[in-house]
Structure 1
Amino acid sequence: MTSLDLNLRRFTRPLGEGTHLTVWVALGLLILFGAWRYDNFLSAYNVSSFLQYNSMFVLVSVGMCLVIMTGGIDLSVGAVAALASVVAALLSARGLAVALPAGVATGLMAGAINAGLIVGLRLPPFMATLATMLAARGTSLVVSDRQAVTVDWTSDFTALGMNKIGALVPWTIVAALLVVLVAWHVLERTSLGRTVLAVGDNAEAAHLMGLKTGRALVFAYLFSGACAGLAGVFLASGYGAGQPLEGQGWELAAIASVVVGGTLLTGGMGSVPATVAGALLFGLVFNLLNFENGLGVISLSAYWQSVIRGTFLLVVILLQVRLGRAAARA
Structure 2
Amino acid sequence: MTTDTTEPAAREKDASPGAEQPQGATRSERLTSLAQQHGALVALLVMVLVASLSFDSFLTGDNLENMAVSSAFLAVVALGMTFVIITGGIDLSVGYVFALGGVLAAWGSQYGTLVALILPLAVCGLIGLVNGLLIARARLAPFIVTLAAMLLARGVLLSVTDEGSTTYLVDKDAFFARLGQEKLLGIGLPVWITVALFGLGALVLRRSRFGQYVYAVGGNEDAAALMGAPVARTKIAVYTLSGLCAGLAGALNAAWLMSGVTILGTGMELEAISAVVIGGTLLTGGFGFISGSLVGVLLLKVIQNVINQIGSLDSAYQQVVSGAFLALVVIAQTWLGRRRRML
Q: TM-score, normalised by structure 1?
A: 0.92
**CA deviation after TM superposition for structure 1 residue 324, in Å:** 2.2
Match of 1:321 in 2: 334
**1:196-231 CA deviation, whole Å, 9 max, x = no partner?**
011011001111222111121112111111110111
Unaligned runs of 5+ residues in structure 1 are: 294-298
Matches of residues 154-173 of structure 1 in structure 2 within 5 Å? 154-167=173-186, 169-173=187-191
CA contact (8 A) 1:8 1:195 kept: no
Q: Determine helix, strand or coil for the equivalent of 1:242.
A: coil
The equivalent position to 2:75 in structure 1, one of 53, 58, 62, is 58
Between 86-95 and 8-17, report the one with greater CA deviation.
8-17
Matches of residues 60-139 of structure 1 in structure 2 within 5 Å? 60-139=77-156
In structure 2, distance between residues paired with 1:51 and 1:196: 29
**CA deviation after TM superposition for structure 1 residue 11, in Å:** 4.2
In structure 1, distance between residues paired with 2:44 and 2:124: 30
CA contact (8 A) 1:52 1:161 kept: no
Match of 1:307 in 2: 320
Match of 1:261 in 2: 279
The equivalent position to 2:205 in structure 1, one of 165, 182, 187, is 187
**CA deviation after TM superposition for structure 1 residue 10, in Å:** 2.9
In structure 2, distance between residues paired with 1:164 and 1:27: 26
In structure 2, distance between residues paired with 1:96 and 1:36: 43
CA contact (8 A) 1:137 1:244 kept: no
**Percent of counterpart pairs with the same letter?**
37
In structure 1, distance between residues paired with 2:139 and 2:275: 27
Q: Determine helix, strand or coil for the equivalent of 1:188.
A: helix
**1:53-74 CA deviation, whole Å, 9 max, x = no partner?**
1101111111111100000000
**1:235-261 CA deviation, whole Å, 9 max, x = no partner?**
211112112221111111111111111
CA contact (8 A) 2:36 2:333 kept: no
CA contact (8 A) 2:36 2:336 kept: no
Between 231-240 and 38-47, report the one with greater CA deviation.
38-47
In structure 2, distance between residues paired with 1:141 and 1:194: 39
**CA deviation after TM superposition for structure 1 residue 7, in Å:** 8.7
**CA deviation after TM superposition for structure 1 residue 6, in Å:** 8.4
Q: Which amino acid aligns with 2:157?
A: S
Q: Determine helix, strand or coil for the equivalent of 1:283.
A: helix
Match of 2:229 in 1: 211
Unaligned runs of 5+ residues in structure 2 are: 18-32
Q: TM-score, normalised by structure 2?
A: 0.89
**1:266-289 CA deviation, whole Å, 9 max, x = no partner?**
000001001100111100111111
In structure 2, distance between residues paired with 1:209 and 1:48: 46
**CA deviation after TM superposition for structure 1 residue 328, in Å:** 3.1
Query: How large is the Cα RMSD of the aligned pairs?
Result: 1.7
In structure 1, distance between residues paired with 2:48 and 2:112: 37
In structure 1, distance between residues paired with 2:305 and 2:101: 26
Q: Determine helix, strand or coil for the equivalent of 2:176.
A: coil
Q: How many residues align?
A: 320
